[in-house]
Amino acid sequence: MDIFQAMRVFVRVVETGSFTAAAQALGYSTAQTSRLLSELEASLQARLLQRSTRRLALTEVGARYLERCRLILSEVEDANAEAGGAHLTPRGHLRVQSTTGIGIQLLAPLVARYAQLYPQVNVDLTLSQRQPDLLEEGHDVVITLSSHLPDSELVGQALGTISSVISAAPSYLAQYGIPQKPADLAEHRCLHLVDPMFTDSWVFRDEQGEQSVRPGEVFQVNVAEAMAQAAEAGLGVCLLPDYVAVDSYKRKGLVRLLPHYRLHEKSIYALYPSRRFLDAKVKTWVEFLKQEIPGMLQAHQATVNDPANWA
């Protein structure tokens, strides 16, 4: 027995005053309508209606049950309407997970603007250095870095490309000199950013091929923003994602080294479970990021590629 359908039959029989009228309204036969109500009473072990050849009358239990049924069916209809319209109107909690640097530098400034566009959506932004299990941990969207689209059943939307830059403080370079080629870094204090999104070695690429340098152990940290602060204090040479380095470049706390080499190019992806019946809050968030993030990344690239910010 479908309990919700049985409730609907019971409510409609009471409202119309007869099994025949209720059956016509619901598209059932009179016999089906009568059987469903009997099954409902049997499951409850209570009589809801007193039946006679002339009229139907609610029992005391039936009157109380009628009010509860109306409330329950109203809630079910509201829930169905909300779920059915989820792909039309952005609302509810949007759970977003991101790597720490991207979340701080790119996403956090955008959340307020998205909230102004879609005030019925509440954004829960979680920052972490690890890649979560999107489905098991209940995130709606994961923003991640990768050199290629992750091989999974998730849908991936590319948001742009970032690279990394070798940087140091002017005070450090004044004391130890400016490296002219990757091999020169063997004579410098190279700081180690411990990040699962990046390899331990610094891989320099140009038209001649690749060169690899491994940073030392004089200082290591797992958050790029902390690395930038240490480098600005003159601790040594560091490798930073360009979106982290730009703030230090703007205030002249760091300058770029070896600018003619490309390092650690990666794409930013928005991952989410499915395109089918896509929730409007997920769709609008991803589309918003696709509109906003490329311009932000272009501005970062312009800063790190400006010779005024090179050593």
Determine the Cα–Cα distance for residues 103 and 128; give it in Å rounded to an integer: 9
CA distance 288 to 233: 37
58 bridge partner residues: 49
Neighbours of 134 (CB within 10 A): 19
The stretch 43-68 carries a mean pLDDT of: 88
Given a cut of 70, is residue 150 above it in pLDDT? Answer: no
Domains along the chain? Answer: 3-84 (1.10.10.10), 91-311 (3.40.190.290)
- Of the candidates 139, 155, 136, the residue with the CA atom closest to the CA atom of residue 95: 139
Which tens digits make up the pLDDT trace of 5-35? 999 999 989 988 889 988 988 889 999 999 9
pLDDT of residue 237: 97
Buried b (16+ CB within 10 A) or exposed e, 155-167: bbbebbebbbbbb
Q: What is the value of pTM for the model shown?
A: 0.72
Residue 25 is predicted with a pLDDT of: 84
**Average pLDDT, integer, range 124-128:** 89
| Pairing, β 141-146 against β 255-257 | unpaired
At 240 the pLDDT is 96
Report the chain's mean pLDDT, rounded to a whole number. Answer: 89
Q: What is the pLDDT of residue 228?
A: 97
pLDDT band with cut points at 50, 70 and 90 for residue 147: confident
Give the C-alpha distances (Å, rounded to integers) separating 264 from 3, 102, 227, 255: 59, 15, 17, 18
Residue 79: the pLDDT is 75
- In this predicted structure, the answer to whether residue 91 has a pLDDT above a threshold of 80 is yes
Q: 237 near 180, Cβ under 8 Å? A: no
Pairing status of strand 141-146 against strand 92-99: parallel
DSSP the chain: --HHHHHHHHHHHHHHSSHHHHHHHHT--HHHHHHHHHHHHHHHTS--EEE-SS-EEE-HHHHHHHHHHHHHHHHHHHHHHHHHTTTTS--EEEEEEEEHHHIIIIIHHHHHHHHHH-TTEEEEEEEESS---HHHHT-SEEEEEESS--SSSSEEEEEEEEEEEEEE-HHHHHHH---SSGGGGGGS-B-EE--TTS-SSEEEEETTEEEEE---SS-EES-HHHHHHHHHTT--BEEEEHHHHHHHHHTTS-EEESTTSEEEEEEEEEEES-STT--HHHHHHHHHHHHHHHHHHHHHHHHHT-GGGB-
pLDDT > 70: what percent of the chain? 93
User: pLDDT value at position 152?
Assistant: 66
Q: Lowest-pLDDT range, 140-154, 224-238, 283-297?
A: 140-154
Residue among 68, 61, 66, 136 nearest 97 (CA): 136
Model confidence pLDDT, tens digit, residues 213-237: 999 889 999 999 999 999 999 999 9
Model confidence at 103: pLDDT above 70? yes
CB 221 within 8 A of CB 230: yes
List residues bridging with 190 in a β-sheet: 237
Would the pLDDT of 278 be above 90? no
Q: Calculate mean pLDDT across residues 152-177.
A: 93
Residue 197 has pLDDT above 80, yes or no: no
The percent of residues above 90 in pLDDT, for the chain, comes to 65
Question: In residues, how long is the chain?
Answer: 311
Q: Are 155 and 271 in contact (CB under 8 A)?
A: yes
Beta bridge partners of 276: none
Q: Is the distance from CB of 225 to CB of 244 less than 8 angstroms?
A: yes
**Does pLDDT of 86 surpass 60?**
no
Does position 135 have pLDDT exceeding 60, yes or no? no
